[in-house]
Amino acid sequence: MNLVNIIISFTVVFVFAELIKLNSFFQNLLYNPFIATIIALITLLPVIFLFIWASKQNQEQKAAVKAIAIFAVGVVFMQWLAPTVGWYGGPATYAPAIMQGLIYGISVMGFAALLLLAYRSLTKKNYFRGLLCYFLILLFIILATIVGDKFAIERGIMTFQNGYTIFTDVLYAIILVVFPPLIHKILRR
């Protein structure tokens, strides 16, 4: 198993996540148990590939994959919980909640893995310069979250309800960026 297979499989899951948000035909397909099972298995492939790859790596790499896995469990839960309790609404949430949790959660896992890779690369040679660069990435993601949320809400793709706001989503984005490196640091000790 190599990193190219992992990247390709996470890309497929990211495409599934975008199809769920934007395509009612795909959303309706996920109500078919047979198709949902196939999509779920395909969605889990990058996680399996990542664990196979990590099993052949050094302790540092294994700690990074464990950090992403621990983080992913929380993200999958959050991605299932939010539409279930009504924090998210609109056409982007019409697919079955369990499939949303799985597909969105695994796609966010791939994004978090890239962020952790960036963090580890940036802080390897010069820790403080790396932290500064990672902080700039965080600021960009905060801005992208605000712009993306406003766009999705204005276009009617998504709604926020029951106390969930753009500010809450920005806090969620901050958690997505900050937690993987923190979990990684804890696991390395």
**pLDDT tens-digit profile of 43-55?**
888 888 888 888 8
Name the token pair of 133: 């660069």
Reply yes or no on whether the pLDDT at 32 is more than 90: yes
For the chain, which residues make up each domain, given as ranges?
3-188
Percent of the chain at pLDDT > 70 equals 99
d(CA 28, CA 26): 5
Rounded average pLDDT over 90-118: 85
> Which pLDDT score is estimated for 1?
61
- pLDDT band, very low/low/confident/very high, at 21 (cuts 50, 70, 90): confident
Compute CA distances 17 → 2, 44, 81, 154, 187, whole Å: 23, 13, 16, 20, 29
Give the global pTM: 0.79
Rounded average pLDDT over 92-99: 85
Residue 86 · residue 160 · CB < 8 Å: no
What are the helix (H) ranges across 126-165? 127-154
Name the token pair of 80: 């299932």
46-79 burial, b at 16+ Cβ within 10 Å, e below that, comes to bbebbeebbeeeeeeebbbbbbbbebbeebbebb
The helix or strand, by DSSP H or E, that contains position 179, with its residue range, turns out to be helix 166-188
The whole-angstrom distance between residue 137's C-alpha and the CA centroid of its chain comes to 16
| Cα–Cα nearest to 5, from 52, 63, 41, 62 | 52
pLDDT tens digits for 158-188? 899 999 999 999 999 998 889 888 888 888 7
Rounded average pLDDT over 17-30: 83
